[in-house]
Amino acid sequence: MILNGAQAAAAAAKLCRVQVVAAYPITPQSKIPETLSEFVERGEMKAEFVRVESEHSAMGVCIAASIVGARAFTATAANGLAYMHEQLHWAAGARLPIVMPVTNRGIGAPWTILNDTQDTISQRDTGWMQFYCMNNQEVLDMTVVAFKAAEELLVPCMVCFDGFRLSHTIMPVTVPDQEKVDSFLPAYVPFHTLDPENPMNINPVVMSDPIPDPDGIVSPSYMGFRYRLQQTLESALPVIREAGAEFGRLFGRSYGDTLYRYLMDDAEFVFVTMGALASEATEVADTLREQGVRAGVLGVRVFRPFPADDLVEALRGRKAAAVLEKAISYGYEGPLMSELKSALYTDSDIRLPLSNFIVGLGGKDVAPGDLLEAAKETIEAAKNKKKPEKPRWIGYGI
């Protein structure tokens, strides 16, 4: 089918037999609930479609639905995601496997409706998994994989893709057979059942030290619950890889690798990035190859939990890397740069020269010449053992 990214996300929700959709419109994700409302209205999708007055309420509905055992879904972007912030912590702390596509968009002020990844990157510490998509096929596929991983781990997941560049761009998308998706993703079985005859207190106030519940069972403290969430996320990558690999065995498109790799077998210079930028970087890698530079691309598909070991091994033996980002940790550098440096310089013996480039904020076009400039600066700095400017902004104008 020829689908834009928003339609691909909606098609995935339908294939996953989502039971509750909480909807509040915000550009550029509005087409996702619009499409789902059409599915429900036509009887093609058996789900409760709940219209709410805000993004905060949308996540509240998903939390309530997930607690009572429904497969829950919403979507948002930018300031809408920021408005959900409190509820994002609640969903992760309550261990609810909600899946939420986010059409990445710059956050005001000043207002923009166009793309960067500041919105999801600023929520990286809420306890949600985060997957990033290169194209509309990945939007559909990784939403299905996200439900599989989330329900096994009991951790919510954002499926992130570039607003307008993917959400409103049409591409050929292979839509899987419903029966095969059902075999990959069976009906959700909640980890507890609400029963009026056997009442329970869910997410009560807890103390700073473990105490026994009314039945004498010692319950974790607040810190204990958070430690369990951290343990789960630290051990989540094998589960995510297996879900992606199983998807590949059934549908022929494998996501068993947390990284997208392009021309990496002999690459000496590497672009490291996320989302649609990885697709754009492949074109520039081809150009660099024509100029005699052995270039490759690593696209980070899974940002949370962070695939530190996979990146370390993928960059072992390379000569230089340019880290391209559509986000900034104000006052320091790009978040992916910080994460990558920590992985390389703390957990390995690799001392790879890295340069950080901030591009494309607020939908600013990223031209092939911009990425060629980043590559040449990085290679030259590594050759001369020169410490690069940190970070380097490209295309910001006045």
Whether 21 shows a pLDDT value over 80: the answer reads: yes
Q: What is the pLDDT of residue 88?
A: 98
Backbone φ and ψ for 340, nearest 5 degrees, come out as: -65, -45
Measured between alpha carbons, how far is 56 from 54 in angstroms, rounded to an integer? 5
> Burial, 250: exposed, middle or buried (Cβ in 10 Å; 0-12, 13-18, 19+)?
middle
**pLDDT band for position 398 (cuts 50, 70, 90):** low
- Tell me: cis bond preceding 28? Omega within 30 of 0 counts: yes
Measured between alpha carbons, how far is 99 from 115 in angstroms, rounded to an integer? 21
Q: Where are the alpha helices (DSSP H) in the chain?
A: 5-15, 31-41, 55-67, 78-83, 85-93, 118-121, 136-153, 178-184, 222-234, 237-251, 276-290, 308-315, 335-347, 368-383
Q: What is the pLDDT of residue 332?
A: 96
The helix (H) or strand (E) run that includes residue 84 is none
Q: What is the pLDDT of residue 392?
A: 95
Whether 346 shows a pLDDT value over 90: the answer reads: no
Whether 389 shows a pLDDT value over 80: the answer reads: no
- What average pLDDT does the segment 151-163 reach? 98
Q: At what angle do helices 368-383 and 276-290 cross, to 10 degrees?
A: 60
Q: What is the pLDDT of residue 213?
A: 77
The pLDDT tens digits of the residues spanning 270-307 come to 999 999 999 999 999 999 999 999 999 999 999 999 99
Percent of the chain with pLDDT over 90: 88
User: Both ends of the chain: CA-CA distance in Å?
Assistant: 42
- What average pLDDT does the segment 217-222 reach? 88
The DSSP bridge partners found for residue 158 are 100, 130
Q: Which residues of 311-347 are buried (b: 16+ CB within 10 A; e: fewer)?
A: bbebbeebebbbbbbbbbbeeebbbbbebbeebbeee
Measured between alpha carbons, how far is 107 from 271 in angstroms, rounded to an integer? 26
Identify which of 324, 294, 325, 300 has the alpha carbon closest to the alpha carbon of residue 312: 300
The pLDDT tens digits of the residues spanning 169-206 come to 999 999 999 999 999 999 999 888 888 898 888 888 88
The pLDDT tens digits of the residues spanning 233-278 come to 999 999 999 999 999 999 999 999 999 999 999 999 999 999 999 9
> What domains, with CATH codes, occur in the chain?
2-184 (3.40.50.970), 259-393 (3.40.50.920)
The structure tokens listed for 187 are: 């009906």
Angle of CA points 351, 353, 359, to nearest 5°: 135
Measured between alpha carbons, how far is 168 from 332 in angstroms, rounded to an integer? 32
Measured between alpha carbons, how far is 176 from 178 in angstroms, rounded to an integer? 6
Residue pair 75/100 in contact by the 8 Å Cβ criterion: yes
Q: What is the pLDDT of residue 262?
A: 98
What contacts 248, CB < 8 A, 6 or more positions away? 254, 255, 256
Residue pair 7/39 in contact by the 8 Å Cβ criterion: no
Q: What is the pLDDT of residue 123?
A: 98
- What average pLDDT does the segment 355-360 reach? 97
Q: What is the pLDDT of residue 87?
A: 98
The mean predicted confidence, pLDDT, of the chain is 95
- What average pLDDT does the segment 381-391 reach? 87
- What average pLDDT does the segment 351-368 reach? 95
- What average pLDDT does the segment 12-22 reach? 98
Lowest-pLDDT choice from 46-50, 124-128, 238-242, 390-394: 390-394
How many Cα atoms occupy the beta-carbon half-sphere of 90 within 13 Å?
Answer: 18
Q: What is the pLDDT of residue 71?
A: 98
Q: Which residues of 15-45 are buried (b: 16+ CB within 10 A; e: fewer)?
A: bbbbbbbbbbbbbbbbbbbebbbebbeeeeb
Q: What is the pLDDT of residue 193?
A: 80
The structure tokens listed for 11 are: 């098609």
- What average pLDDT does the segment 302-328 reach? 97
Instruction: Write down the pTM of the prediction.
Output: 0.96
Whether 388 shows a pLDDT value over 70: the answer reads: yes
Whether 219 shows a pLDDT value over 90: the answer reads: no
Measured between alpha carbons, how far is 245 from 243 in angstroms, rounded to an integer? 6
- What average pLDDT does the segment 18-41 reach? 97
